Homo-oligomer: A and B are copies of this chain.
Amino acid sequence: MTSPVDFHVYDTTLRDGAQREGINYSVADKLAIARLLDDLGVGYIEGGWPGALPSDTEFFARAADELNLKHATLVAFGATRKAGTLVESDPQVAALLDSRAPAWCLVAKSDIRHVERALRTTGAENLAMIADTVAYGVSQGRKVFLDCEHFFDGFAADPDYATEVVRTGFAAGADVVVLCDTNGGMLPSDITDTVTRLRDRLGGRPRLGIHCQDDTACAVANTITAVQAGVMHIQGTANGYGERPGNADLFACLANLECKLGMSVLPDGGLEKLTRTSHAIAEIANLAPDAHQAYVGHAAFAHKAGLHASAIKVDPQLYNHIEPTTVGNDMRILVTEMAGRASIELKAAELGLDLAGHPDTTTRVVKRVKDLESRGWSFEAADASFELLVRDELQRGLTRHFTLESYRVIVEHRNDGSVVSEATVKVKVGRRRVIATAEGNGPVNALDSALREALISHYPQLTEVSLADYKVRILAGTKGTSAITRVLVETTDGHRDWTTVGVHDNVVEASWHAIAEGLTYCLQ
């Protein structure tokens, strides 16, 4: 449909994406993200607003020296000159120049109400500000993009004025004029309608861009719809990070353009890096990757329904909208209550365990899984527990590195209001009996510390291992029985994580099981 040369993939993770609540990138974080995006193959990376934020000024200084971008052009974001001033003497425009970025993205008001009420100037002066600043950037050898803020609301309120803003941008030499749904209130039909009407008014083949926010949960759809209406430049952010519900998720947009519309918008091999890039940026942003994110989420191709498992095994294409490896993701089969032999075999294969040639073992594994799941266990999120179970059956017994004799956990709320937890563990490690006591900020933390304390002199590799996450679910009992507790424990050795499960009517005992299995998995 379009070749990569004509089409712009424009990333604003480092500027608009950083507006997301809770995100605070260091300059080093920003450089690392820019390298990842460049490696993915985006065309433009908006690095920040030099002059407005000191860390953005520093980013551009370091980027000019340190970043050797293969694919991407670095873009500095800024605003048109202030009303009633000369562009040459505007300090904010000077900061753009100082940034040494080869491209600028200038934000301009395109809604006459914002011009008058927020900017407190006239429509004519706003047009002059746009013309002057765009022309100045072009005269300094910069490629200039014009972001028309609130364009869709502005076009609805006063189409003549909004169109005039776009015309002014092009006349002054803007490479692309970008239509922004700043408040994010549009639906795909609004996008089609406005882009079509604007193109009719402009005539010819205007180089238009699109910038969507996700306030109607339609940002990705709106972006794709704009491309179908003739836009050739899309702005989005990694994982859809951004203010309020966020920006258009650039990764879903790219996958839709490549996989659904047959466009080639990334360099060869780029699309396969999508999942890895998404997760790496989430790590840098210190946000948990969204397991349910389209295309790149851990659960994006995870099938739970047992009734389909046998059919999936025969013909996976019938149940996946694309081949998961296209975007660097995997198909996963969830082990659930409804699981049959087919999904157990698929799941084991995924973990590198071949059950296909061992029908008797498979039978035993299926029986144990069904039996445990009927009593509240869940292996869906506990791959390590499932792997231990399968290995136990395949090898006819796991190596036991330690066995429990007893433990005791005490939680006290004392007269003075203080709350203390203490655990004592008695275990056999090889032939030795070890007793260890530890405190903690809760009963499970104390128990975990005491067990680790007991084992660490025999297994020094456990020094690197720690409890990364802990989840508790109370399951209502069936009639006549009391509720049971399911605990999921995520353990990490700093390089990789694994999850184990424990179930008991006593939360401490359930936790014990999951913690002990987490360490057993590590020692296998």
Contact = CB atoms under 8 A, between A and B. Distances in A.
Interface stretch (A274-282, A360-368, A502-510): A502-510
A419 B302 contact: no
A293 B512 CA distance: 36
Contact of A443 (B225, B335, B507): B507
A453 to B, nearest CB: 17
A472 to B, nearest CB: 4
A292 interface: yes
Interface string A484-524: 01000000000000000000111111001000000000000
A218 B224 contact: yes
Interface in A450-476: 469-476
Interface string A400-411: 000011111111
A315 B183 CA distance: 13
Interface residues of A, number: 112
Contacts of A421: 506, 508
A217 B215 contact: no
A97 interface: no
B311 A117 contact: yes
Interface stretch (A133-141, A243-251, A263-271): A243-251
Interface stretch (A3-11, A22-30, A162-170): A22-30
A146 to B, nearest CB: 18
A216 B252 contact: yes
Contacts of A252: 216-217
Contact of A286 (B21, B473, B505): B473
A476 B469 contact: yes
A230 interface: no
Interface in A410-465: 410-415, 419, 421, 441-445
Contacts of A319: 183
A1 interface: no
B410 A415 contact: no
Contacts of A398: none
Nearest to A510: B442
A27 to B, nearest CB: 7
B409 A414 contact: no
B475 A294 contact: no
Interface stretch (A33-41, A98-106, A184-192): A184-192
Given A27-B476, A410-B408, A183 B22 contact: no
A325 interface: no
B217 A506 contact: no
Given A311-B117, A406-B414, A303 B243 contact: yes
A475 B26 contact: yes
Nearest to A423: B411
A129 to B, nearest CB: 15
A304 to B, nearest CB: 5
Given A183-B320, A216-B256, A221-B222, A507 B244 contact: no
B405 A415 contact: yes
B507 A507 contact: yes
Contacts of A150: 318
Interface string A66-77: 000000000000
B442 A293 contact: no
A260 B187 contact: yes
A443 B421 CA distance: 12
B221 A419 contact: no
A413 B509 contact: yes
B413 A410 contact: no
Contacts of A94: none
Given A217-B252, A218-B221, 14 more contacts: A21-B291, A21-B299, A21-B304, A28-B476, A117-B314, A118-B311, A185-B322, A187-B224, A215-B294, A217-B221, A221-B222, A406-B413, A408-B410, A419-B509
